[in-house]
Homo-oligomer: A and B are copies of this chain.
């Protein structure tokens, strides 16, 4: 089923208002949820909304909390999210990184005691909209085994890199596992095999069977040992810079809350030469002869296509989850 963007946003806002979110905060959060579904990231849009509501009801996400500054040194600042809504804390901190980059050329904000920021790419798009190069990442609860190990000890710590561009920003939004748990469930529910191996089966063999992988809990990091190392580095950076909780501590607490994030902005000189260089990179990459009926896209290109379709034909919603949200 497809619904107008505004219908989703207004419904989310109605629910959040009933949970003691101020009008402004409810509007901001509702917009981010609706935008994620609009852009095709259903797992962090409509489909995640009931989980977010549960976290608010459990008191893990505090609607009235505001981020407070811990300390700052030049272009580097540390903020405490005070367990407020993750999207608001993250949006605030990326906004602060944008201000620091405008002043110093580059800026970095580390955030502790926050909550799930939902779609990671949101804050990359935010930086790019402000004309900034944006880099951000978060840690998470452990859901990925390290290379060489069988039990989850690493987070799926997504990494976002965004470059502003007049014809459509270039935004990489990359989690560390080859497939998210949400994607694995989607394939499983459709009775489909994965296009490439996404983890291990119970015998320890690489598998394209989503049910087997969900059962073994041995999801594959991108590039095996490489993604495993990258996940650990992002957790270390977030933990050390924010002085917050590592994946280890979040996991020991039992709930994915009080995690930490890093937001870096760099001020590019987007003169004509730089803009031409960006187009040249995209055009050159696209001259690669398509393989196996494939299509060479730049990061964010498919997002823009989905966005356009959603705004024209309505945002796709899972009717079952939509009914749940309407009843909240």
Tell me the A residues contacting B by CB distance below 8 Å.
72-77, 103-108, 133, 145-154, 159, 161, 163, 170, 172, 174, 178, 196, 200, 204, 206, 218, 221-224, 226-227, 229-230, 232-237, 239-241, 243, 246-249, 251, 264, 266-270, 273-274, 277-278, 280-281, 283-292, 294-299
Question: Taking CB as reference atom, which chain B residue is nearest A231?
Answer: B285
> With the chains together, A218 CA to B290 CA distance in Å?
12
Assembly CA distance A240 to B267 (angstroms) = 10
Q: Which of B147, B264, B288 contacts A146 (CB 8 A)?
A: B288
Query: Chain A contact residues: over half helix, strand or loop, or mixed?
Result: mixed
Check A246 against B277 for contact (C-beta < 8 Å): yes
- Per the bound structure, the CA–CA distance linking A235 and B285 in Å amounts to 11
Are B148 and A281 in contact, with the CB atoms below 8 A? no
11 additional A-B residue pairs with CB within 8 Å, beyond A73-B267, A240-B278: A75-B105, A108-B266, A145-B288, A149-B288, A154-B285, A218-B291, A222-B226, A239-B278, A246-B280, A248-B284, A249-B280
Query: 10 A-B Cβ contacts within 8 A?
Result: A146-B296, A148-B297, A151-B289, A153-B288, A174-B229, A222-B226, A236-B278, A240-B269, A246-B280, A249-B280
On whether the beta carbons of B291 and A223 are closer than 8 Å, the reply is no
Residues of B within 8 A of A249 (CB): 280
User: With A133-B237, A163-B233 known to touch, is A243 a contact of B274 (CB < 8 Å)?
Assistant: yes
Q: Could you tell me the distance in whole angstroms from the C-beta of A126 to the nearest C-beta in chain B? A: 17
Contact B104 A74 (CB under 8 A): yes
In the A-B complex, list the 10 residue pairs whose CB atoms are closest, starting with the nearest.
A222-B223, A76-B105, A149-B288, A148-B294, A248-B284, A74-B104, A150-B291, A229-B299, A73-B105, A74-B105
Minimum CB–CB distance from A92 to chain B (whole Å) comes to: 19
State which of B107, B145, B161 has its C-beta within 8 Å of the C-beta of A106.
Answer: B107
| Cβ–Cβ < 8 Å partners of A290 in chain B | 148-150
Min CB distance A63 to B, Å, is 29
Beyond A236-B170, A268-B240, A278-B240, whether A152 also contacts B288 by CB under 8 A is yes
Q: Which residues of chain B are within 8 angstroms of A170 by Cβ–Cβ distance?
A: 232-233, 236
- The smallest beta-carbon distance between A219 and chain B, in angstroms, is 12
Q: Is the CB–CB distance between A285 and B146 below 8 Å?
A: yes
User: Is A153 within 8 A of B222, CB to CB?
Assistant: no
Contact B241 A133 (CB under 8 A): yes
Which one of A218, A280, A285 has the greatest number of beta carbons of chain B within 10 Å?
A285
Chain B residues positioned under 8 Å from A151 (CB to CB): 287-289
